Structure 1
Amino acid sequence: MESLILWVLFFFMLFVLPAMTRRRHAAAVEAEFTRVQKKRKSRIIAIVHRQESMGLLGLAQLRYIDLNDAEDVLNAIRSTPKNMPLEFILHTPGGLVLPALQIARAIKAHPAPTRVFVPHYAMSGGTLIALAADEIVLNPHAVLGPIDPQIAGLPAASIAAVTQQKKPDAIDDYTLVLADVARKAQAQLERAAEELLAGTVSENAARAVAEQMSSGRWTHDYPIEAEEAAGMGLNVNNQMPAEINGLMALFPDRASGRSVSYTAPAVRLPFFGKKKEAPMAPPPAPQMDRTPFVGFEPGPGSRSFSYGPWNPSDLRRGPSERDIRRER
């Protein structure tokens, strides 16, 4: 009998209690988003990518912008009344270009005012989404980043530069193919950025910003704070509402309870024998079957999840004109 009780308690602690905690947290998040939406008279969508513990072993998984984000967010934007302002909270290292561009174009097409809030950082694909908004709001020291494409884990600009530094007969076929893809990816990202900025900034500023951010003149993790972004010509400010910071606080890093830090994995040393300095790993040989990846490249096993938009019932039916008039 005692063993049965212990098993029941074990099952409760392992499965039931975490599920109840998640449900309570989800209810609290929904209630707070609903309250802030009513206060701001806007639809708020949050794309927050964290390291989260997954499965029984609690292994951390890094999240990034993927096609699931695009599906969820596009449905939310489509169901938002055309006269309702659209506000995004972005906290992401970036991700796939395709879903990021889909989201960005949907924001650009929304007829009511659009605004993106960046409490901490929105890099790569996150910046691409931010460029589509009428206004970008960053916390002090919060950053955007370059949108230069990454091909097979390397900067597209650097790959393309190889063909200018070496003769074609001194370059292997794989690198030549990657260089061709890299040039196309750069041109596509520059054109997309210019398209997203059209009408928000001047034509000359849109062209200059698009070229700067997609050219690869910086490393892919180069931080662009509000002052530098405004100097480029973007409509950026530091007027972050307190309630937006409050919403961001609802999504702590569950894996550690702290802010997420991205670090390169350490070189493994032998488990036995005299410790010695780890030798530098030789560069990997070209992998002909590896698919080029455009954008931020997550590690193995990565997946994504977007929070919001809330209130889900409102998204299904949309607020009535009477509701909107009453909130005014």
Structure 2
Amino acid sequence: MFFNLFMIFFIISILQPIIKQQALRASRRRIIHQLEIKNKSRVITLIHRQESMSFLGFPVMRYIDINDSEQLIRIIQTIDDDMPIDLIIHTPGGLALAALQIARALRNHKGRVRVYIPHYAMSGGTLIALAADEIIMSENAMLGPVDPQLGQYPAPSIINVLNKKPADKIDDETLIMADVAQKAINQLYNSIVSLLPDSYTLDEKKHISNMLTQGFWTHDYPITVDVAKALGLNVSTDMDPLVYKLMDYYPQHVNTTPSVEHGYSQKNKNGK
């Protein structure tokens, strides 16, 4: 009897997370379909969260990688040229090569491209957003600088060493790193200039690229809506409520009591 109960519990433990994941995917697809009908567009998501995977419940943190770029490029290639694309991004960043591939695929799409950022799109996520005709951020969402990182150091900071010391006082390894850092900055600067849509003037493209790659801020500096607009980016805060609803179905892994909770009132800010 005990063995039978144990086996039932074991099977339920295995099936429960699988059923939960399938239910989450179905809910995501439903909201994505609603967005597509509402905006008459093709909706794609690039969302990286910690999710509880398998019955053991271990968290997996994801970043932009080659698998993401391959999948997104294949999807973009299947979309009709005149069909608008709405890309929802929520990511801490990731591999620069993958982010550039995605950004270029979006830039080459002939239809209108909008990027929605409900919370944050840092580093590589920002790089992808730059290729959009319009960036739609929530009022509290963040972008981030895209200055190259060489190991644990920002490329602009490595180059700055050359301005602090004479060359004969700098070791060979640092000089080599500074040379590579300058190449990395130049490459990314030129990539951003080519990625930004034609709605920007060349001077605007150069200014935006310069501010984002030259190390004016730390790599994790939060670029708010106001800062993004001051840079000259085409940013609006006309966030669709369905995007927030979609994010509810990408749960963050939680092992303990949630740190944020709320009541279940359906009233909006005006109390209606």
Q: Structure 2 vs 1, CA of residues 62 and 172 (structure 1 numbering), >3 Å: closer, same or farther?
A: farther
- 2:164 aligned residue: 165
Query: For the Cα contact (< 8 Å) 2:31–2:242, is it kept in 1?
Result: no
Q: Note the C-alpha offset of 1:14.
A: 2.4
Q: Note the C-alpha offset of 1:50.
A: 1.1
Q: Which moved more, 1:130-139 or 1:56-65?
A: 56-65
- 2:109 aligned residue: 110
- 1:250 aligned residue: 249
- 2:218 aligned residue: 219
- 1:86 aligned residue: 85
Counterparts of 2:208 and 2:259 in 1: how far apart (Å)?
Answer: 30
1:4-39 CA distance string (max 9 Å, x none): 313312322321121111112212211221222122
Match for 2:173: what amino acid? Answer: Y
Partner SS for 1:137: strand
Query: For the Cα contact (< 8 Å) 1:115–1:136, is it kept in 2?
Result: yes
Instruction: Calculate the TM-score normalised by the size of structure 1.
Output: 0.74
Aligned length: 259
Q: Note the C-alpha offset of 1:91.
A: 0.7
Counterparts of 2:60 and 2:38 in 1: how far apart (Å)?
Answer: 34
Match for 2:129: what amino acid? Answer: A
Query: For the Cα contact (< 8 Å) 1:119–1:142, is it kept in 2?
Result: yes
Q: Structure 2 vs 1, CA of residues 61 and 170 (structure 1 numbering), >3 Å: closer, same or farther?
A: farther
Query: For the Cα contact (< 8 Å) 1:253–1:259, is it kept in 2?
Result: no
Q: Note the C-alpha offset of 1:166.
A: 2.3
- 2:45 aligned residue: 46
Q: Structure 2 vs 1, CA of residues 193 and 258 (structure 1 numbering), >3 Å: closer, same or farther?
A: farther
1:104-137 CA distance string (max 9 Å, x none): 0011111111100110111111000000000001
Counterparts of 1:123 and 1:60 in 2: how far apart (Å)?
Answer: 21
Query: For the Cα contact (< 8 Å) 2:137–2:238, is it kept in 1?
Result: yes
- 2:132 aligned residue: 133
Counterparts of 2:191 and 2:258 in 1: how far apart (Å)?
Answer: 35
1:204-241 CA distance string (max 9 Å, x none): 11110000000011011111112221121111111111
The correspondence of residues 167-246 of structure 1 with structure 2, limited to 5 A, is 167-246=166-245
Unmatched 5+ stretches in structure 1: 261-328
Partner SS for 1:201: coil
1:140-187 CA distance string (max 9 Å, x none): 021111111111021110111112222334333332222121111111
Counterparts of 1:54 and 1:173 in 2: how far apart (Å)?
Answer: 46
Counterparts of 1:259 and 1:47 in 2: how far apart (Å)?
Answer: 25
1:246-276 CA distance string (max 9 Å, x none): 222221213459699xxxxxxxxxxxxxxxx
The correspondence of residues 266-281 of structure 1 with structure 2, limited to 5 A, is none
Match for 2:121: what amino acid? Answer: A
Counterparts of 2:149 and 2:60 in 1: how far apart (Å)?
Answer: 21
Counterparts of 2:161 and 2:259 in 1: how far apart (Å)?
Answer: 37
Partner SS for 1:95: coil
Q: Which moved more, 1:28-37 or 1:71-80?
A: 28-37
- 1:62 aligned residue: 61
Query: For the Cα contact (< 8 Å) 1:252–1:258, is it kept in 2?
Result: no
Query: For the Cα contact (< 8 Å) 2:193–2:209, is it kept in 1?
Result: yes
- 1:313 aligned residue: none
Query: For the Cα contact (< 8 Å) 1:92–1:122, is it kept in 2?
Result: yes
Counterparts of 1:115 and 1:58 in 2: how far apart (Å)?
Answer: 35
Match for 1:138: what amino acid? Answer: M
Counterparts of 1:125 and 1:258 in 2: how far apart (Å)?
Answer: 29
Counterparts of 2:147 and 2:42 in 1: how far apart (Å)?
Answer: 30
Counterparts of 1:226 and 1:259 in 2: how far apart (Å)?
Answer: 26
> Comparing both chains, which one has the higher relative contact order based on Cα–Cα distances under 8 Å and sequence gaps of 6 or more?
1
- 2:8 aligned residue: 9
Counterparts of 1:3 and 1:171 in 2: how far apart (Å)?
Answer: 72
Partner SS for 1:229: helix
- 2:263 aligned residue: none
Identity fraction in percent? 43
Query: For the Cα contact (< 8 Å) 1:49–1:91, is it kept in 2?
Result: yes
Q: Structure 2 vs 1, CA of residues 259 and 207 (structure 1 numbering), >3 Å: closer, same or farther?
A: farther
- 1:278 aligned residue: none
Let me know the Cα RMSD of the aligned residues.
1.9
- 1:150 aligned residue: 149
Q: Structure 2 vs 1, CA of residues 80 and 255 (structure 1 numbering), >3 Å: closer, same or farther?
A: farther
Counterparts of 2:106 and 2:258 in 1: how far apart (Å)?
Answer: 31
1:46-75 CA distance string (max 9 Å, x none): 111112334564333321111111011111
